[in-house]
Every structure is written in structure tokens, then in C-alpha cells.
Amino acid sequence: MSTGSVRWGSVPVGTEVPTGRHWVRFGGELLVWETGPPSSTGREDGLVPAAGLLLVTQVGDAFRQDHPDAVVLLDHGRHLVVEAGSLRGAPDQAHTCWRAETLPEDAVVVDRPRVATRAPTRRDTELLAGLSVASWEQDVRALAAVRTRLSSGAGFMTAATSAAATLEALGFTVRTDPVQVPGGVSATVVADRVGSRTGARRVVLITAHLDSINIAGGPTAVAPGADDNASGAAGILELGRVLVGVTWQHDLRLLLFGGEEQGLFGSRQYVAALPLAERSRIRAVLNLDMIGRRNGPSRGVLLEGGPASAHLVDDLAAAATSVTGLQVSTSLSPFASDHVPFLEAGIPAVLAIEDSDSSNHDIHSDRDVVAHIEPGLALEILRMCLATLLRWLDSRPRPRPAGPVVARAPGRLDVFVVGSDSAMHHQVLKGPAG
């Protein structure tokens, strides 16, 4: 790997970093390191030698399973810092369940943002009260009761048909798109609700993958996928239930993808097929993947976006602080879920996922069962989502006059009028002088 050496140490955020050393922040922890000559040894300043540092982003503990001997210097769940010299062979960059890259210098990988709270309005409070943890739980149970929702299998189609029927009964216009996956065909359920605004409307997408997988057991093995991702799919149904009862200015689209576990096939094909005009109409994509399991002492959520969606991350963090007790972590390094294809196409998308999801070692196996689910955590995450969606769907129109505004001046008349395109139009009429 490296011909030099790296000396590193982990310190609390707020510790001053001496010049010449680099840092990376993971929530409340700061990893500090400096590169040195090949012979650099010793443990001065609490720094110890390593051959090179890699930032690993993983789903579950996929990386650790593939590289049990790797020396992990810092474990922040979804993100690890790994001593490069401890990896046998070159890290496989194309692995679908983890990614290894050179550790960035002087960067925040996971933030704990401090955001201002925003008191919910009376309408917000009423709608938030409409979220039912019981109906969410019922949907999770129904989805997890299917033997396996393997993308190309009969169980997946049963789940997709049932979800489509539920959404149609709620009042959505529903269609099902085929999705090509290795060795078969899966599907994506698309449910639409048109906004009330006349003229140009944006569209807000809420997405989750409906498929499940049992990697060790193979295609016919039991794969309840209660957390991954019956929890998120049921979240979409529950948000749909509440949102459909209100008229929104902008369009709402719910998407339940197939083929996620095989490599994001549903979302990739969906984005690839989007006409350019439709892409630019997307105001926000909110992706739910694993929202039902508490992996630490407190309830937390990780909001993962990219540079194109930093503002969406802020909106969700503000809502979490205002209407939940969730501990919020944020990252702008997107990985391995259905928000990624949108971000790659420059569309603002964000993932909401239970915090420390990598401590959940039961995903992708027959152990991802309802018994491990904590409905209270999912309810908190759904409250954060709903409070945010209310704003994204109903951005207030700029205050506008009821009719044209006229300004008189000697010899001219200025007429301002808001057109059906919501833009301000200005016309000058010439009249008799003074």
C-alpha cells in the first residue's frame, strides 16, 4: 500500500488539531493523523503507526464479514476507518454492500448538526397526530409474513400487488412498472396524487425498496426483511395514508422499488427512464430504508444526502429537532440505497435510516424479524418525515395581489399582473402627458 506510515489517534470533537496533522470527523469523534517516513514508529502523542487509511462505507457489517482480519481503527457503524495494510489484496471497489476509498483529509464524514427548532403549526400537529403506529406495524407484519420478497419471486409480486391495491384504495393513481433484474423481472409500484396548484407544479417523491433477501440462504430461503425494508415500505404506506387526506399544492409520488438488494435496479431504471422535464420538476426525493430498529442506547436517525441535497438534510434535521426526540447524524457521502441513482443524476435526494444501522447484524438473513422492531423509533422517524413533507408539498405561494397593480406617473401607466405561470408580468402603457 503506502510506502510511508500514518500515525493516528481518536480524540473528542473540540480538541485542537496541531498544524501538519489531518482530521476527519465522525459525529462526536475526531480522527487525527499525520503521515511520516517509512521508518516512523512509536506511540508518542497517543498516535500509532499504520500503513495507510481507508474510509469504508458499509451496509450492515458487510465489510467486516468480507474482511474479518482488517484492522479497524475507528468504528462509526456505517462508516469505518481501516488500516489499508491489513487488507489482503486490493479492496474491491465494485462491491455492492461496501465501498472503500482513501480517507478524505480535513473533512466531516458524519455531522451532528445543531439546528434551530421550528414550532409546528396547528395543522402540522393535527396531521402528525394522524400517524398510526398500529397501522404501520400491521403493514410491517403483513410484509414480513411473506416467505421471501426476493425481487424476481412470486412473494415479491404478492407484496407489490397488495401495496398497489392499498394505495389505490386510498385514492392514489397507481401503476406498476416492470424492472429487469438478473435472472428475472421485478416491479416498481408508482402511486400518484396530483397537486391542486394551477400552473407549474413540482413533484415530491417518497421512496422505499419493497424487496428482501437472504444472502447466505439463497433465493428460496426465508427472508422476512422486517427492518430491511418492510419498515420503510410500510412507512411509505403510512405517510401516504395521512397525506392523501389533504390537498397539496404540489404533486406527490410514492415509489416502492424492486431489485434494490441486487444492486438498485428499480431506482436506476426509474431514473434512467425519466424525461428531462420530469427530472427538473422533482423538488425532493425522500428515501426510507431501515427505520425500525434501535441499535444503540438512544433513538437516532442518520440523514444521508449529497451536495445536491444538503438543503433537504437541513430541512429534515430541523423537523427532527422540532417534533421528535431523535438524535440526528448527517452525512453527505451517499451509499448503497435508492437515493444514490437520483443523486448521481443531480436530483436532490436524501436517505433516512436508523442510526448505527451497521450494528444491525440481522439484515439480509432469516433473523431480520418483527420481534426486533421498535415501533416507537419508526414513529419518530415518520413524524420527522411528515413534518418535512408538509413543507415540501405545500410551499407557500409568494403573496400576490388579488388583481393587477397599477402605478401612475405623468405620461405613463405601469401595470403589474401575476400570470397563470405564477410569474410577475409588467407592462407600460403610455398616456397623455401630465
- Using CB under 5 A, list all residues that contact Zn ion: 228-229, 289
Q: Which is nearer to Zn ion, 230 or 320 (CB)?
A: 230
Query: Contact at 8 Å (CB) between 80 and 100?
Result: no
Q: Where are the beta strands (DSSP E) in 111-248?
A: 173-181, 184-193, 203-209
Least distance (Å) from Zn ion to the CB of residue 139?
16
Distance, in Å, from the CA atom of 288 to the CA atom of 229, rounded to the nearest integer, reads 8
Q: How far is CA 370 from CA 209, 228, 293, 317, in A?
A: 17, 11, 10, 27
Q: Which is nearer to Zn ion, 228 or 394 (CB)?
A: 228
Q: Which is nearer to Zn ion, 91 or 225 (CB)?
A: 225
Q: Which is nearer to Zn ion, 49 or 155 (CB)?
A: 155
The residues that bridge with 176 in the sheet, in sequence order, are 189
Cell for 368? 431480520
Least distance (Å) from Zn ion to the CB of residue 194?
29
Q: Which is nearer to Zn ion, 46 or 263 (CB)?
A: 263
Q: Would you call 4 exposed, middle or buried from its count of C-beta atoms within 10 A (0-12, 13-18, 19+)?
A: middle
Q: Which is nearer to Zn ion, 251 or 261 (CB)?
A: 261
Q: Which is nearer to Zn ion, 207 or 229 (CB)?
A: 229
Least distance (Å) from Zn ion to the CB of residue 211?
9
**CA-atom Rg of the chain in angstroms:** 25
Q: What angle do CA 308, 312, 313 make, to 5 degrees?
A: 100
Q: Amino acid letter at 147?
A: R
Q: Which is nearer to Zn ion, 289 or 394 (CB)?
A: 289
Distance, in Å, from the CA atom of 38 to the CA atom of 35, rounded to the nearest integer, reads 9
* C-beta neighbour count of 432 within 10 angstroms: 6
* C-beta neighbour count of 357 within 10 angstroms: 24
Least distance (Å) from Zn ion to the CB of residue 144?
14
Least distance (Å) from Zn ion to the CB of residue 182?
17
Least distance (Å) from Zn ion to the CB of residue 243?
23
Least distance (Å) from Zn ion to the CB of residue 17?
36
Give the 3-state secondary structure of residue 186. Answer: strand
Distance, in Å, from the CA atom of 310 to the CA atom of 287, rounded to the nearest integer, reads 14
Least distance (Å) from Zn ion to the CB of residue 229?
4
